[in-house]
Amino acid sequence: MDILTQLVINGIIAGAIYTLIALGFNLIYGATKFFNIAHGVFAAIGGYTVFFFFKLSGVSLVPSILAGVLLAGIAGMLSDRLIFLPLRRKRGSSVIMLVASLGLFTALQSVIAIMFSNRFQTLTDIFNIQKTYQIFSGVITQIHIVIIITVISLTIGLFLMLNRTKFGKAVKAISDDEEVARIIGIDTDRVIGYVFFIGSAIAGLGGILIGFDTGIMPTMGMGLLLKGVIASIVGGVGNIYGSVCGGLLLGFVENFGVWKISGEWKDAIAFGLLIIFLLFRPQGVLGK
Amino acid sequence: MKIEIRNLTKRFDGVTAVNNLSLTLEGGRITGIVGPNGSGKTTLVNLLSGFLPIDGGTVIIDDTITVKKIQPHKIKSYGITRTFQDIRLFEQMSVLDNILVVLTERNLWCALFECHRPEHMQKAEEVLRMIDLWDKRDEPASNLSYGQRKLLEIGRAVSMEARVYLFDEPFAGLFPGMAEIVESILRQLRSQGCAVVLIEHDMDLIRGLTDYVFVLDSGVLLAEGRPHEVLQDRKVVEAYIGN
Ligand SMILES: Nc1ncnc2c1ncn2[C@@H]1O[C@H](COP(=O)(O)OP(=O)(O)O)[C@@H](O)[C@H]1O
Ligand SMILES: [Mg+2]
């Protein structure tokens, strides 16, 4: 096994996971212009839904995953209906929205902990004895391949949705200028509701995939969110393609950064990258 | 088409930007709104298009709908559209999409697929040719020059096929060729029976284009009438010179 090849593979895997979180985060940020901290908890909701159905209740894999994605999406959409939409109507500032989302994050995370305990859980054992594949001189596991393929398909899917559908045009119009979008007849509240559904469902899928890769904990959302936010800022906040760019860059920098030093430095390196970007290129690689 | 404004009031902390204002906008007319900077012209447009909540007074649309609160998402159904003194386009979109986005039908099927019917494309082409931007249709809106952006915003408003058009300084900063295009658009809307509101500082344009003029000063209606008469009114002249 050649270390360099393996680092590239690890960088791509980490990058794919960060991209997964950043995609939905950026989609929602684009439409609403606030940092939705609660975004992380929808990953946990996805993971725990699969845990409940698949591991505890013996429902088969595919329906469990569908339920997880759907529930995360619905929870996201409800969070908009019940909290963020009323705040938008009252013209709440983005700081107020951020604080509200932090509150929602904490509340939902506690509910998950109450229902399923704070313990680390695995979703399945089937991937423990999973197949690994040789790529050049590195190895990659089956679940990692699934993650990478999922991220590529989702990115292409989102690209097509934003550029080839009228719904996508409405989303773009809203992220450019919500007030004007409204007076030309776009039902902005509804479109933003769907954006929350899509973004949160993607986060849910992210939580599920991570659950199958390593495992789940009620507190998993915050770490994921922070990495997703760093990926967004590094790539360009509100920019869907920036998510991929930022996610991959973060994944690579983190993994190459710990080439010669202990892996515990990963988070420090990630925040170092964030600070460098905030200081020298706050608009991110791709800009708005 | 008629919009009656009764005792409309808008306060910002300290300033009463629109003060107990009553006026009527009629279809088939270009109504000029003039007044020194800060006299409340833009605020009036913001109130009528739901961009700012109304503090007092009512708006009566076509003698039938009486509203004390204008919600932005209802603007389209009232047949009202507007442009902005500081141009607001959809920057991420192409020139063509800036027009097509308002021609969209919003049922679920159409939301999922690009189904601009031929008449939408035809309408978009007609509008873009009128404002001389058809050749630039695939460029991002952010690439346009100031004047072209102004025209595109006017084109977007025209595509709405509204009945009330609120134009906030549409001529400001335009070269003569472009100004002519805007003039002909305003005249055309008037001939279609629309109520056209023109906020403008150039008194020659006001004289040449408008049928009726309201003069605002500090949010209050200072004078109204036919442009030739009103613009000679001593009070009006003083309000302008005073600033
Ligand atoms: N959003 C706002 N917040 C506070 N004050 C405002 C706002 N909009 C306008 N004003 C004030 O209201 C007055 C009228 O402004 P405006 O309607 O823009 O005038 P005009 O368009 O005639 O130049 C000005 O004193 C301006 O400072
Ligand atoms: Mg103004």
Q: What is the mean pLDDT of chain B?
A: 91
Phi, psi of B56 (to 5 degrees): -165, 155
Q: Are B33 and B41 in contact (CB under 8 A)?
A: yes
Other residues' Cβ atoms within 10 Å of the Cβ of residue A120? 12
Q: State the ipTM, two decimals.
A: 0.88
- What is the rounded average pLDDT for all residues in chain A? 92
| CB-CB under 8 Å, A185 with B106 | yes
pLDDT digits (tens, 9 = 90+) for A11-56: 999 999 999 999 999 999 999 999 999 999 999 999 999 999 999 9
Q: Is residue A287 part of a domain?
A: no
Token pair recorded at residue B95: 């020139």
Alpha-carbon span B108 to A190, nearest angstrom:
12
- Evaluate whether residue A222 is within a structural domain: yes
Report which secondary-structure segment, H or E, holds A14. helix A3-32
Q: Which residues of A touch B92 (CB under 8 A)?
A: 172, 175-176
Judge if the beta carbon of residue B42 lies within 6 A of ligand 1: yes
Q: Whose CA is nearest to atom 4 of ligand 1?
A: B12
What's the longest Cα–Cα distance across chain A? 60
**Residue written as token pair 């997880």:** A68
In a domain, A71, yes or no: yes
The pLDDT of residue B241: 65
Whether the pLDDT of residue B54 is over 80: the answer is yes
Cβ contacts of residue B63 below 8 Å, gap of 6+?
B2, B4
Residue nearest to atom 20 of ligand 1 (CA): B38
- Tell me which residue in B73, B112, B115 faces A187 most closely, judged by beta carbons: B73
B237: phi then psi, degrees, rounded to nearest 5: -60, -45
A216 part of a folded domain? yes
Q: For residue A266, what is the domain's CATH number?
A: 1.10.3470
- Give B156's pLDDT tier (boundaries 50, 70, 90): very high
**What's residue A261's pLDDT?**
85
User: In the predicted model, is pLDDT for residue B110 greater than 80?
Assistant: no
Residues of chain A neighbouring B84 (CB-CB closer than 8 A): 180
The angle formed by the CA atoms of residues A114, A117 and A119, to the nearest 5 degrees, is: 155
Q: In this structure, are residues B90 and A176 in contact, taking their beta carbons and an 8 Å threshold?
A: yes
For A77-95, the pLDDT digits (tens) are: 999 999 999 999 888 898 9
How far apart, in whole angstroms, are the C-alpha atoms of residue A61 and residue A133?
Answer: 23
DSSP string, chain B: -EEEEEEEEEEETTEEEEEEEEEEEETTEEEEEE-STTSSHHHHHHHHTTSS--SEEEEEETTTEEESS--GGGHHHHTEEE--SS----TTSBHHHHHHHHH---SHHHHHS----HHHHHHHHHHHHHTT-GGGTTSBGGGS-HHHHHHHHHHHHHHTT-SEEEEESTTTT--HHHHHHHHHHHHHHHHTT-EEEEE-S-HHHHHHH-SEEEEEETTEEEEEE-HHHHTT-HHHHHHHHH-
What is the B222 CA–ligand 2 centroid distance (Å)?
A: 17
Give residue B49 CA to ligand 2 midpoint distance, Å.
Answer: 14
Q: Flag whether A210 is in a domain.
A: yes
Cα–ligand 2 centroid distance for B38 (angstroms) = 7
Report d(CA B18, CA B33) in Å as an integer.
13
pLDDT confidence bin for A134, thresholds 50/70/90: confident
Q: Residue A117 class from Cβ within 10 Å (0-12 exposed, 13-18 middle, 19+ buried)?
A: exposed
Tell the residue nearest (CA) to atom 12 of ligand 1: B17
Residue B170: name the closest of B189, B192, B143 by CA.
B189
Residue whose token pair is 């979008």 = A181
| Confidence category of residue B107, pLDDT binned at 50, 70, 90 | low
Residue A141 sits in which domain range? Answer: 2-280
As a whole number of Å, the end-to-end CA separation of chain A is: 40
Is A286 domain-assigned? no
Residue A248 contacts residue A198 (beta carbons within 8 Å) = no
- pLDDT at position B171, please? 96
> Is residue A285 situated within a structural domain?
no
Residue A288 lies in a domain: no
Distance of CA A263 to the CA centre of its chain: 23
Please report, in angstroms and rounded to a whole number, the separation of the first and last CA atoms in chain B: 35
Contact B37 CB / ligand 1 (< 6 Å)? yes
Query: How big is the CA angle at B156 (ends B8 and B46), to the nearest 5 degrees?
Result: 15
- Distance CA(B75)–CA(A121), nearest Å, equals 52
Query: Domains in chain A: how many in total?
Result: 1
Q: How confident is the model at residue A133, as a pLDDT? A: 86
Is residue B243 within 8 Å of B37, Cβ to Cβ? Answer: yes
